[in-house]
Structure 1
Amino acid sequence: MVVTLNELDVADVSGMIAAAVAVVQIFIPLALPLILLGVLRDEHAGATTTSAVSWSVIGRFLHGSRWPTLLAADSASIRGVPWHVVFITRMKTILALLTAIAAVVTPLGLYQAIIEDDDWTENVSFHYIRDPSEFGWGTPPRVNLPWSRICGAFLPVECPNSFSNVTNFFNETGEYIQVSNYNSHVPQYVIDAFQSGLEHMEDSVSSIFDIQSRSYSWQLINDHPGAAVPDNGQTYPVDDFRMISSNILADDYLAIEGLVIDMKNGGIGFRNHSAPPQTPYGSTWSEDLLFIEPESQCVDTNLTLDFSLPRFTSEATSSISHLVLTDRGGFANLNLSYPNYTNTNTQRDPQLWDRAYKGAWLNNVISMAYLNVTNPRNTSDPDSEPFTYLNSHVGKQFPLMNENGIFSAPLTISVDGLFLSSSYGSYLDTSWVFSTPEISNFSFPNTTSYKPLYENPFNITASNFTSASIACAGKWSGDNANLDNFVANCGMLYGAPIRTDNKSSSIVFEPGSNWSMPLYSCIMTAKATIKRVTFRFNGTDDLSAIKVTEINHKVYPDEESMPLWGVERSDKNLSDVRLLWGLISSPDQGNISLHTLRQESLYLPGFDPTLGFSTTGGYQNLPGSEFYIRGIGSVFSMKYDSNLPDYTGKMNLAMYHRWQELSKAANTASKILDLIWTDVSSNAVVGTRGLHGARLQGYSSSSMSEPSSNTPAVKFMQRRVRYHWEYAVPALIVLILTAVIAFVTLLFAIIGRANMTRLRQYLNKTSQGRILTTHLYGQKGGTVAQEPHTLRPRSTRRWVENVGKNPVTVAEGNNDFLVIDGPQASQPRPLLQENLQKGPAAAHDQEK
């Protein structure tokens, strides 16, 4: 891998400089001795003459270099040398090598980091920051927009805690409704009640009345004769929906205009964005935010739709061929016991998995009856028993295409996408019910008449599968709107198909390839909770500089410190009213009757989750009570909803591939629903409460509030030098050895075995010049008597003046003998030249 100069950091450059210095430190001690040898001149036959003191200097310089070790000279020998001398002398080389390595490696661990400065924490004023992204451009400015509330699914119904006057009466001709006044306004005391709990929260926490529709419009007056006209014919605001952008593949925490969105797990937090003052290196802080998050559970039906792609597309009548329903144990291994779950105290134990399992079980049982795999109970015969036979086994396939290659069920199966349906059993054609096979022919336009694939002996229809949806959700439109009946929708997730022939990647659609689509029973709901969100602000003074670093569930020390949630108490049906909910200060809220609950989160009330977001506009302006319901409806109708982006993956191969990975198991498949809900809902609503004095929308006022005086503690970032300690290992070894050496040195100094006097003696004893002059001149060449019977080394100055300047000739004789000569030697010697010619033996004889 080639590293360019632009990729180097300060640590790398420091290491390179240290390496260059180490090379120079090695090269110069090796080169200078060679230069010295070039300066010294041999007189003849390898003999060199210079002063005695020069021999000391030359010896120190040559033996102090690395050449003795490299050339295995005498001074580097270990034979005949005591082990402690060898050990100490070798430590010098080892430490020099380690020091060179440490000098190069140690700087590589240096780096600069921007960190939180715990010593610089302040409570500062926050200011609004705009969103420069498409969400900022696509969100209309907030105006004086009062709340509006309309109740009644088909006929006008008086909303809870409203000033409307709606009367129901009966006579012999039927039921009638008389509307003397229909007031869409939400009373201020109601708004105050559902914002009262904020006084126990941080200033950043929103209420249901801090949630506004991202897009809005105004309702036209209904001038139809006899129609109930709200607000005496005045126009009133309604929510609206326009898709702005999609973040479905972000897999991150994002801050957009009015929201914090969790595209890792699903969920949106409400915040009108603001930030502390800018600093050179940024800042970080944490806030409590109101979150609404989806919660989904999926159960594997152990059924799959398997098919292949046509080998010749020009001859294909469908995009897929050989479509079959395969029993992976959903029929053959069915648990014959009817599943039940308790529907009491649903807020604390919603039993979502049990609900989804019940939907899967009913889907399989009804499908088995349709396919005549087994028999249901005959309700007209009290003695009849279900499941008296079983015509299936694991791996058995049930064809779903006729001989013309036509799939007659309501679904449109494709190889390049997943989809969801709020209807169970949509892979079967339940629109036909036949009493006898003779009348079962049916003609499609431009096709040949054919018989249906299955006789459907028990007359199974779509209404039978609808019962599975109701049993899973646990409620119906006529049930009472209350705390326990939280919003939920059930249906089937048809996972992204995966290749089963293992011949190539699962995103290559080869003709003739085989594919399998898993079928899951899923339930989806939504809940409100408080989460702790950590922000980092650095860069330009707009929302692009805010990074959401963490989103965590808020931790409470005990139950008493948990939020107190309130939900309107009502005698209305679920289909007629969207209940208000929120954080309250106490169960007693004056004129408002409430269901209350103290816990971490609240499963939100509601019904009609099949109704998704629509660009045709809503009917009221109370998004906090219904956007999450429409979000669930959009998820389960995404296959057919033209108001939304393509979430099937058909138009986005990256999305399709991600859905494939999540579709492999039921526990990960539920995440698909949560992410789609989050992406759609983030385009539908916006939060209006912020620490900078955000708009607190109410009935009679839309002015800006005072900026928060209770802002979170902000930690300002500072640049600091940091170090990767693994690069310090060589330096730590050198440091430890240095400490050991220092300790031993100090020890010998204390006991008197290592001092300057003794060191000077050993330096003189091992001096090359003194050894030579002692050899030539005897005692006067090395020591001098100062007192009787006392000899001590001459000082360097006196030794140089006496004999150190005398020239000494050193040559190499035969058999590695050294020949030494000098003027005024203590014993007469023959000429050097003669000794060199005759050899060491002759010289020895002459000395005798």
Structure 2
Amino acid sequence: MAVTFGDLRVADVSGMIAAAIAVVQIFIPLALPLVLLGVLRDEHTGATTVSAVSWSVIGRSLHGSRWPTLLASDSASIRGVPWQVVFITRMKTIFALLTAIAAVVTPLGLYQAIVEDNEWTENVSFHYIKDPSEFGWGTPLRVNLPWSRLCESFVPVKCPNSFSNITNWHNETGDYARIYSEDSHVPQYVIDAFQSGLDNTEDSVSSIFDIQSRSYSWELIDDDPEATMPDNGQPYPVSKFRMISSNIPADEYLVVEGLVVDMKNGGVGFRNHSAPPWTPYGSTWSEDLLFIEPESRCVDTNLTLDFSRPKHASEGDSSGVAHVMLTDRGGFTNLDQSYSRHPIKNISQREPHLWDRAYEAAWINNALSMVFMNVTNPRNTTDAGSSAFTYLNSHVGKQFPLSRNDTLDTRRVGPNAIFISSKYGGYLEGLDWKFEELNLSNPVYENPFNVSSRNFSDAGYLCSHTDAPVDFGNPNNFAAACGLVYGVPRRIDSNSSQIVFEPGSNWSVPLYSCIMTVKATIKRVTFRFNGSDDLSGLKVTEINNKVYPNEESKPFWGIESSDNEMLYDFNPLWGLVSSPDQGNISLYTLRQESLYLPGFESGLEFSSIGGQENLPGIHFYSDALANVFMISDGNWGNTAIPDYTGIKNQGIYRRWQKLSGTAEGTAKILNLIWTDLSSNAVVGTRGLHGTRLQGYSSSIVSEPSSKTPAVKFMQRRVRYHWAYAIPALIVLALTAVIALATLFFTLMGRVNVTRLRQYLNKTSQGRILTTYLYGPRSETVARGPPTPQKRKRGATRRWVENMGRNPVTVAEGENDLLVIDGPRAAQARPLLEENQQKGAAMSHDHED
């Protein structure tokens, strides 16, 4: 990938500048000695004559450069040199190299970041922020929208704590009601009771009466003038469902109008979105929010539906599959024959036994399938001495056909979809004349023990545990839905693509028994507000379960109870309450971290037609449960919800294919579908800006209170990646060692200016040359008589005046020796004369 100047950071440019400076620092010390050599002139004999002090300066320039090391000259030799001297001189080169590397690498670690300020800001005013997405403009405005509640199954009944006047009775001919008046209004004292617990929470926590339908309308039930109509025939609000957008492809936390949506794990948090004052770099804070989240468990039945793709268009059925088989992957052969079919007891809020219930349904599904296909026998209930499983006509890998002449009579399998059904054993429909009481002339199975769809329905009833017609509203009768999940097919005949359906390819569909329920809880949510001053600038960075220091600090939940009405007639109210005593309202109460929500899976689909009341907090979660277990081809004709099978969306299909490979992943699929449906069904209306109404402008600002969360405003700061500092840290460590060594020798008296000056003089090349030439007279012999003033000057200046200006000639002699000459030098050799004689001799030899 090409990198342009626009891709460079400040740190990159700083590193490039440092690299250029390092190159210059290396080049100049190498180049200047070469320039110096260029200005020095050698005589015709190869000798060079300059003043003695010039030889010291030239030596300093040449030997202080890198050339001695590169050319391995005398001053870079290690032979015959004490190791201490070698080590210290080598350290100089290594230190210079490390310094150059550090100069280039160190700036690369610099970067600018937007970080939290160290201080929390208290008493910050929050303001409403509008959602500019389709969820914002798809959510209608609402002003003082009242609640409405009507209770009935086959006939109207009086809701708990209602002002209606209805008399009900039952006889052998049916259920009857006499309506004197029917009032849809929810009394204010009921609303107050289920909001009383909010006094012990942060302002951001919602109640059941802060949950509204995202879509609503006003309705009249009956235009018959003789009919007794609710509210004396006045229009009243009802909840509706209209899909706005699907968030299934998103694997993140989302914020939409009125909700925090957890598309990672599943769940919706209720919040009418607001934010602190906008700043250039943003802000962050945390809030407690009421969340309603699904909880699912799945059990692998160890059965698969296997099929192949037709080789020719004329083969197979209309869905594009052929040779459909039910394969025993251990679900028949290894079935626990001692498992009891008695319902699981002691199901409660604290022990919901979700996995056990899903397993029980899977066991019933597998056992009845075996009996249906005569793989084994059931116990004869009329014979006390009989027993089940006296024979087993199966083994791991055995396949049982599920189609008649490759024509599939059930739509539970397809090449490119996931199917979720509340029906156990649905893959056996249409394979005999008894299962669905069909008149088939050529059944695939004889079904000798007369297994019917009603037998399979026991699996769902025992799993969900709630029998709505006879169960009353209490904490242990919480909403649950069960069913079979037919996973996304996976190719089993090769490692070829899992999304290309080649003719003749073989595929396998896993079968899972799943249970799903819903619970309310309080979660701690961390927000970051940055960018635009609307909802697009609000992000959720963390969602965590709230931690409670002790049992007394946990939420206190209340559930509406009724001694007369069953769950089939009404869903109970629930919420946070301050105490068990709420006047004349009868309550069940619990103190615990979360509450499995009461009710039952009604089997009602979300519909754009709408319901008959406006109290979504007691209905939407169970209606969403029902819709999840109706996800099949075409969603059973329900056009109000999108296609979740993956048939029409490759992205959804691939995500489901990855997740449905395990029981845990399949449970997550159920949670995500429930969350997506719920985010389109409801909206939260409680916010920190002080309003409970949806769709207000940003001019609405709260007055801060002691419950308003503290905010950290973000600041721009310079930060550093410490890995880039390693060369600099090494240089720093070496510098510290050298500094300590210098301090040590100074304190020991072995290092001082006088001694350093002595060694500088001892190693001065000019002094050495004049000492060699003039011996002990080198400090006193001069061209003219010395004066007292000159003797009083510094040693270097005195030496320059006395001897340093004398010309000295140096040339290379034989055997790597130097030939040195100077005027009036007692120890000088006849340099020029010897060189001339040497030159003449060479000329003579050449002539010979």
Which bin holds the TM-score, normalised by the shorter protein?
over 0.9
Q: Counterpart in 2 of 1:687?
A: 684
Gaps of 5+ in 1: 443-449, 698-703, 842-848
Q: Counterpart in 1 of 2:43?
A: 43
Tell me if 1:462 matches 2:453.
Answer: yes
Secondary structure of the 2:483 match is strand
In terms of mean alpha carbon deviation, does 525-534 or 812-821 score higher? 812-821
Q: Counterpart in 2 of 1:395?
A: 397
Secondary structure of the 2:568 match is helix
Tell me if 1:674 matches 2:671.
Answer: yes
Q: Give the deviation of 1:619 after TM superposition.
A: 0.9
Distance 2:733 2:768 in 1: 38
Q: Which amino acid aligns with 1:279?
A: T
Gaps of 5+ in 2: 695-699, 842-848
Q: Give the deviation of 1:315 after TM superposition.
A: 4.5
Q: Which amino acid aligns with 1:549?
A: T
Q: Counterpart in 2 of 1:363?
A: 365
Question: How well do the aligned residues superpose, as a CA RMSD in angstroms?
Answer: 2.3
Secondary structure of the 2:627 match is helix
Which residue of the other structure, out of 579, 583, 597, is the alignment partner of 2:576? 583
Tell me if 1:151 matches 2:151.
Answer: yes
Question: 1:170 and 1:559, CA in 2 relative to 1: closer, same or farther beyond 3 A?
Answer: closer
Q: Which amino acid aligns with 1:114?
A: I
Contact 1:431 1:461 in 2 (8 A): no
Deviations 1:97-126 (A, max 9, x none): 111111111111111111111225333000
Question: 1:705 and 1:179, CA in 2 relative to 1: closer, same or farther beyond 3 A?
Answer: farther
Tell me if 1:504 matches 2:496.
Answer: yes
Secondary structure of the 1:602 match is strand
Q: Counterpart in 2 of 1:236?
A: 236
Q: Counterpart in 1 of 2:746?
A: 749
Q: Counterpart in 1 of 2:107?
A: 107
Distance 1:82 1:574 in 2: 98
In the TM superposition, 1:533-552 aligns within 5 A as: 533-552=525-544
Tell me if 1:553 matches 2:545.
Answer: yes
Deviations 1:537-585 (A, max 9, x none): 0111100000100000000011110000000011311111011000000
Q: Give the deviation of 1:594 after TM superposition.
A: 0.1
Q: Counterpart in 2 of 1:134?
A: 134
In the TM superposition, 1:328-367 aligns within 5 A as: 328-336=329-337, 337-340=339-342, 342-344=344-346, 346-367=348-369
Q: Which amino acid aligns with 1:460?
A: V
Deviations 1:587-640 (A, max 9, x none): 100110100000000000111332121111111000000000111111111222
Question: 1:86 and 1:173, CA in 2 relative to 1: closer, same or farther beyond 3 A?
Answer: closer
Contact 2:46 2:811 in 1 (8 A): yes
Question: 1:600 and 1:805, CA in 2 relative to 1: closer, same or farther beyond 3 A?
Answer: same
Which residue of the other structure, out of 473, 488, 500, is the alignment partner of 2:464? 473
Q: Counterpart in 1 of 2:733?
A: 736
Q: Which amino acid aligns with 2:521?
A: T
Secondary structure of the 1:718 match is strand
In terms of mean alpha carbon deviation, does 471-480 or 246-255 score higher? 471-480
Contact 1:441 1:451 in 2 (8 A): no
Contact 2:432 2:444 in 1 (8 A): no
Contact 1:148 1:620 in 2 (8 A): yes
Distance 1:281 1:520 in 2: 48
- TM-score scaled by length of structure 2: 0.93
Q: Give the deviation of 1:664 after TM superposition.
A: 0.8
Question: 1:810 and 1:169, CA in 2 relative to 1: closer, same or farther beyond 3 A?
Answer: closer
Distance 1:24 1:783 in 2: 44
Contact 1:360 1:521 in 2 (8 A): yes
Question: 1:350 and 1:389, CA in 2 relative to 1: closer, same or farther beyond 3 A?
Answer: same
Contact 1:422 1:637 in 2 (8 A): yes
Question: 1:505 and 1:173, CA in 2 relative to 1: closer, same or farther beyond 3 A?
Answer: closer
Q: Counterpart in 2 of 1:701?
A: none
Question: 1:170 and 1:418, CA in 2 relative to 1: closer, same or farther beyond 3 A?
Answer: closer
Q: Give the deviation of 1:706 after TM superposition.
A: 6.4
Secondary structure of the 1:535 match is strand
Q: What's the % identity of the aligned pairs?
A: 69
Q: Which amino acid aligns with 1:643?
A: A
In terms of mean alpha carbon deviation, does 732-741 or 206-215 score higher? 732-741
Contact 1:358 1:468 in 2 (8 A): yes
Question: 1:694 and 1:207, CA in 2 relative to 1: closer, same or farther beyond 3 A?
Answer: same
- TM-score scaled by length of structure 1: 0.93
Secondary structure of the 2:683 match is strand
Distance 2:227 2:4 in 1: 76
Secondary structure of the 2:152 match is coil
Distance 1:718 1:643 in 2: 46
In terms of mean alpha carbon deviation, does 381-390 or 318-327 score higher? 381-390
Secondary structure of the 2:428 match is coil
Q: Which amino acid aligns with 2:689?
A: H
Secondary structure of the 1:244 match is coil
Q: Counterpart in 1 of 2:846?
A: none
Q: Counterpart in 2 of 1:67?
A: 67
Distance 1:705 1:342 in 2: 53
In the TM superposition, 1:260-279 aligns within 5 A as: 260-279=260-279
Distance 2:479 2:538 in 1: 33
Contact 2:155 2:175 in 1 (8 A): no
Contact 1:147 1:622 in 2 (8 A): yes
Secondary structure of the 2:427 match is coil
Q: Give the deviation of 1:170 after TM superposition.
A: 5.8
Contact 1:300 1:520 in 2 (8 A): yes
Q: Give the deviation of 1:814 after TM superposition.
A: 2.3
In terms of mean alpha carbon deviation, does 687-696 or 361-370 score higher? 687-696
Contact 2:466 2:479 in 1 (8 A): no
Distance 1:642 1:783 in 2: 116
Contact 1:14 1:107 in 2 (8 A): yes
Distance 1:683 1:228 in 2: 34
Contact 1:102 1:731 in 2 (8 A): yes
Distance 2:233 2:126 in 1: 42
Q: Counterpart in 2 of 1:325?
A: 326
Q: Give the deviation of 1:321 after TM superposition.
A: 0.3
Distance 2:596 2:278 in 1: 39
Secondary structure of the 1:249 match is coil
Distance 2:438 2:605 in 1: 37
Question: 1:838 and 1:365, CA in 2 relative to 1: closer, same or farther beyond 3 A?
Answer: same
Contact 1:210 1:696 in 2 (8 A): no
Distance 1:88 1:528 in 2: 72
Q: Which amino acid aligns with 1:407?
A: L
Secondary structure of the 2:288 match is strand
Secondary structure of the 1:301 match is strand
Which residue of the other structure, out of 513, 516, 530, is the alignment partner of 1:524? 516
Q: Counterpart in 1 of 2:483?
A: 491
Q: Give the deviation of 1:527 after TM superposition.
A: 0.4
Question: 1:278 and 1:142, CA in 2 relative to 1: closer, same or farther beyond 3 A?
Answer: same
Contact 1:430 1:462 in 2 (8 A): no
Alignment coverage as a number of residue pairs? 820
In terms of mean alpha carbon deviation, does 776-785 or 654-663 score higher? 776-785
In the TM superposition, 1:762-841 aligns within 5 A as: 762-782=759-779, 795-827=795-827, 829-830=829-830, 832-835=832-835, 837-838=837-838
Q: Which amino acid aligns with 1:459?
A: N
Question: 1:222 and 1:823, CA in 2 relative to 1: closer, same or farther beyond 3 A?
Answer: same
Q: Give the deviation of 1:505 after TM superposition.
A: 1.3
Which residue of the other structure, out of 609, 620, 626, is the alignment partner of 1:627? 620
Question: 1:339 and 1:828, CA in 2 relative to 1: closer, same or farther beyond 3 A?
Answer: same
Tell me if 1:14 matches 2:9.
Answer: no
Question: 1:196 and 1:434, CA in 2 relative to 1: closer, same or farther beyond 3 A?
Answer: closer
Contact 2:127 2:702 in 1 (8 A): no
Contact 1:343 1:474 in 2 (8 A): no
